[in-house]
Structure 1
Amino acid sequence: MSDDPATLVSTRWLAQRLSSPDLRVIDASWYLPDMDRDPHAEYAEGHIPGARFLDLEDVSDARSALPHMAPPAAKFMSRMRKLGVGDGHTVVIYDGAGIFSAARVWWLFRLFGQRAAVLDGGLPKWREEGRPLTSDKPTIRDRHMTVAPRPDLMRDVTEVAQAAKLGTAQIVDARGAPRFRGDAPEPRPGLRAGHIPGAHNVPYKTLFDADGTMKEGADLARAFIAAGVDLDRPVITSCGSGVTAAILNLALARLGHKDHSLYDGSWAEWGMYPDLVIERG
């Protein structure tokens, strides 16, 4: 599949445009505690020239007890203004894991009616190809961003429970198979193990080729179809806390799927409440 500034672009595509005045590159690296990595320190040590660092927690809803929930529109606009990212910019998002947290920030851009792309293979591929890195921070000037929120791209627990009961949408879980089955404990304390009734399991890592780039065409579609997902029907994605679910949304967008949303609370919410039914196995 070709480069698409609304979904995924290659390292070559980005390298050819680094000097463009309308390009904005965002380092959205974020890691789970067991990854033992510091995204702030890694950015300071070396990042793609011109990249601005975006802390995922800083662009989340601080009022929620759930991890990194989508922020109010005003907060998203405020954080983008501080990064100098606004209307008319071509936005490319990457992270230090390959394609991980960058997809979540891509989804936030879509949620607020803005276009952005994820760098295919992320910083690991950029480094592997010997492309330039810098420790210099870019000069940032405020830029206004106009948002047009798309609530249809996000689902809450009530909507997900209804979809699970009535079968109006397929729930697709991005967690690894042991966690989905309930064989492995959840990393967050106090959560039950298992999955939403009727959910399909498409572990996000199955969407990548060996070099960390996203699969294409029939190979990408096959990852969903093999899990029993009907690509002609609506999809609600889920995961542990709404981060890797966005990788599924990115893949669905690449496949031209038009009706997919993300369960923002994901298992951090569903697994918390004993009155919500779970399945195991």
Structure 2
Amino acid sequence: MLETTVQYLESIDPVWAALYATLFTWLITAIGAALVFFFKGMNNNVMDGMLGFTGGVMVAASIWSLLIPAIDMSEGEGFVQVVPAIIGFLIGTGFLYGIDKMLPHLHVNFKKVEGVKTSWQKTTLMILAITLHNIPEGLAVGVLFGGVAAGIPEASIGGAVALALGIGLQNFPEGIAVAMPLRRIGMSRKKSFLYGQASAVVEPIAGVLGAMAVTTFTPILPYALAFAAGAMIFVVIEEVIPEAQQNKDSDVATIGFIFGFLVMMTLDVALG
């Protein structure tokens, strides 16, 4: 089935392929959020392990699916070859840093509001926090599909599918991370689910924009890949890992991170 999916995505317009792939990642977020219909809460260790898994997937994807292809497709040798990746990476981290400081948002522990002061409700702020995670993820998938359409050898359809699968896997706990806290504070199951899945609606948008940008102006591809990598690494360091380490048993989050890293690395090497 996976081979058939890869062949199908090879045969269609890259923008549509990016859309379908990111709709898949959105669907996995919704499946995670749907657990709220069966549970009101989740064990802290389980949640920490899943957040660690999320971080591991994002770091591995940033390296194997984004940074290495960005360097490989850049011209020159030595330091010159890595310059586009450095520039794109710094712009990506700077972009997320700016959004993190300007856009008000609240993390899943409901303890700390970041960004500019606002009167927005906590539910809105938490959804914005998870949405920040999803912008670079959707962009990364779209940029890779755009690179395939541009005929860049280092950008393969298998690699793009592997990235979408990895992002989808780590979106499952993200859906839970929004829906469960909302349910715990008294929101209805239906509303908790709707808010949980809505946090990933930005991924198809970012995916399509990324694919369109790269197919329109191919030379930006290494910069765009590194941009997505920088944005994802920023999210892992600033948001995911600190949240996974909130409880006493930090080993669970560490093991989750290692497992997520290995899963994403395996997917990318096997499919890419």
Greater relative contact order, per chain length (Cα 8 Å cut-off, separation 6+)? 2
TM-score range, shorter chain: under 0.3
**Structure that is richer in helix per residue:** 2
TM norm structure 2: 0.24
**Structure that is richer in strand per residue:** 1
